[in-house]
Every structure is written in C-alpha cells, then in structure tokens.
C-alpha cells in the first residue's frame, strides 16, 4: 500500500514548524513517529497535501521533572517513556501504559504527542493521561496554552487542537507512591483495548467505552463515599454509551468496564 503523493518538509525548529503550519495548506499534517498517520495514509484514509516532519526535533524529545509535574516532550517515543527511571518513579501508570502500546518496534517510533493528537478512544496513552489528570502544552501562532486532558479529547478521533497548533509537551502530576492499577482487555496480542481501565488513588479512566476516553465518575464518587472497590466498580459503566463492533456489543463492553475497573482498583500497587 502506497500513500497518495504529498510534499514533505522537515521542520528545523518548533517555531519553524508553527510557521509552516500557519503558511501551508489547511490539510498539512505534522509527522513525528508516523505510527498512527502513515498507516492511515497507506489505507488512503488520510491524504494530506504536505507533511511537516517534527520527529527529529530534539527540543520535543525528553522527560524532565518541573516542580510537581513530570514534563514529557511531545515527540518522545513510547519506548523512551516506558524505560525512563524518572517516569517509572514519578508516574508509573504513564510509563506502564507506554510499555503496552503495540510492540517494541512500534514503541521505538510512536510518540506520546502523536498518540494523544490521534485521540483513538481505544488507545493506552489518552486513558492514562485522563486517569492521571494530566494536560498538554499546545503552541500556535497566538502563543502557548495548556489544555487539561478533560478538555482535550472532544470526540471520536477529535481533539480541541485548532488548525495551526501543535502539542509541544505533556504534563502529568508527579505522584511517586500513589496506588495505581491498569487493565486492558484484548483478544489478540498487541491489539487495541476492547475496553481498558486505569485507576490511580480514587480516579478512574476508561478506554473504548465511548467516543473519547472517559472518567468513571459514578464509581469514583462511590469510592470517595467509602464503599468497597467491588461495589464502586459495579457503577463503572454508568452513563456510558460504548460502541459496538465485531469484538463486543454494548452490554459486553459495560460488563468489561465493571470487571476491569474492579481489577484495576483491587490490584492497585
């Protein structure tokens, strides 16, 4: 499978990438690892007229502590995040989720910013970011803004990124020692979650239970009210309208959400 023809330009810096985004056609796309975009281009589900390559901008790669937050450059590959001592100590749920994306070769290329911008509701990192109460730094012609995960994912493969904006970094609270659990149900190795659940302390996020990653708020409130993990997990699917596909119908996804939430809560470490 061959992508449709496109023009290619390698950005020389983040400001250069923003200038290019502002000056090129509206259908210009940013390319980092390309592990969401290139498969879609090969299937001709996407046919941008121009790709702006930001994958080798070192200013977008790396992990650092900044006050009480961990800051991950948008073009940091999953493998780097998964094996980072800093991330494993301060945000182990995030490092763990990065370690579950695809397979080693995919984790060498795919990036955290790319995964979040792609906004697949079945993906690992969007759910992890929501569970952690993280945010993304977004840069455009008008300057920088910070968008909380709650407001970032707006629909099925849709985000609040405006045309001309790019993600520069991802922020999550540093929480060494916080109890967390992570569950992902798949039929085949390396697959996207049929349903996923991530819990840290009393926050619970679900993958593939709707058009975006979701908080299991009824379960969170019950947990805060002092019920057991099992009782709280019974409420995990409240208010969700998950899609149906060859893998699971709506009721089965709701069942999975309850079971996986219970396991995530009970196996918090």
Partner 1 sequence: MQVEITVNGQQRSDDVEPRLLLVHYLREVCGLRAANVGCDTTSCGACTVLLNGTSVKSCTVLTVQAAGQQVTTAEGLAANGELHPVQAAFRQEHGLQCGFCTPGMVMAAVGLLAENPHPTEAEVREGLEGNFCRCTGYHNIVRAVLAAADGAAASGTAGGERAEVSA
List, in order, residues 6 or more apart from 130 with CB less than 8 Å away: 149, 150, 153, 198, 205, 213, 214, 215
Instruction: Kindly identify the residues of this chain, within the stretch 197-256, that bind partner 1 according to CB under 8 A.
Output: none
SS3 135: strand
Q: How far is the CB of 68 from partner 1 (least distance, A)?
A: 31
Cα–Cα distance measured from residue 24 to residue 98, given in angstroms and rounded to the nearest whole number: 32
Exposure on the CB side of residue 119, measured as CA atoms within 13 A: 20
Q: Which stretch binds partner 1 (CB under 8 A): 88-96, 105-113, 122-130, 251-259?
A: 105-113
What distance in Å separates the CA atoms of residue 89 and residue 85, rounded to the nearest whole number?
Answer: 6
Q: Draw the binding track, 150-189, toward partner 1 (x: CB under 8 A; -: no contact).
A: ---------------------------------------x
Stretch that binds partner 1, among 6-14, 139-147, 208-216, 243-251 (CB under 8 A): 6-14
Burial of 159 (0-12, 13-18, 19+ CB in 10 A): buried
Contact with partner 1 (CB under 8 A) among 53, 231, 234, 238: 53
What x/- string results for residues 8 through 37 when contact with partner 1 is judged by CB under 8 A? x-x--------------------x--xx--
Spatial distance between the Cα atoms of 102 and 180, rounded to a whole number of angstroms: 21
55 binds partner 1 (CB under 8 A): yes
As measured in angstroms, the least distance from the Cβ of 56 to partner 1 is 8
Q: How far is the CB of 6 from partner 1 (least distance, A)?
A: 6
Q: How far is CA 184 from the centre of its chain?
A: 14
Q: Nearest distance from residue 31's CB to partner 1, in Å?
A: 7
**What is the helix (H) or strand (E) element at residue 139, kind and residue range?**
strand 135-140
Q: Is 104 in the site for partner 1 (CB under 8 A)?
A: yes
- DSSP label at 209? S
Q: Give the binding site for partner 1 (CB under 8 A).
A: 1-8, 10, 31, 34-35, 38-39, 41-42, 51, 53, 55, 79, 102-106, 108-109, 189-190
């Amino acid at each position: 499978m061959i992508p449709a023809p496109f023009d290619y330009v390698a950005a020389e810096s983040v400001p250069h990438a923003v200038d290019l985004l502002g000056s090129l056609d509206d259908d210009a796309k940013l390319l980092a690892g390309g592990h969401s975009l290139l498969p879609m281009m090969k299937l001709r589900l996407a046919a941008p007229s121009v790709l702006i390559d930001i994958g080798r901008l070192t200013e977008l790669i790396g992990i650092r502590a900044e006050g009480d937050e961990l800051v991950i450059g948008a073009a940091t590959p999953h493998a780097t995040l998964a094996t980072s001592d800093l991330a494993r100590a301060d945000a182990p749920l995030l490092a763990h989720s990065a370690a579950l994306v695809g397979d080693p070769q995919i984790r060498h290329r795919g990036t955290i910013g790319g995964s979040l911008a792609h906004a697949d509701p079945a993906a690992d990192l969007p759910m992890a970011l929501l569970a952690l109460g993280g945010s993304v730094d977004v840069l455009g012609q008008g300057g920088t803004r910070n968008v909380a995960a709650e407001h970032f994912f707006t629909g099925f493969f849709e985000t609040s990124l405006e045309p001309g904006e790019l993600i520069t970094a991802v922020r999550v609270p540093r929480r060494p020692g916080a109890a967390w659990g992570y569950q992902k149900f798949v039929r085949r190795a390396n697959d996207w979650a049929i349903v996923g659940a991530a819990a840290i302390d009393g926050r619970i996020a679900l993958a593939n239970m709707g058009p975006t990653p979701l908080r299991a708020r009824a379960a969170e409130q019950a947990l805060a009210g002092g019920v057991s993990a099992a009782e709280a997990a019974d409420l995990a699917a409240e208010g969700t309208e998950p899609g149906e596909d060859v893998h699971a119908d709506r009721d089965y996804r709701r069942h999975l959400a309850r079971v996986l939430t219970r396991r995530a809560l009970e196996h918090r470490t």
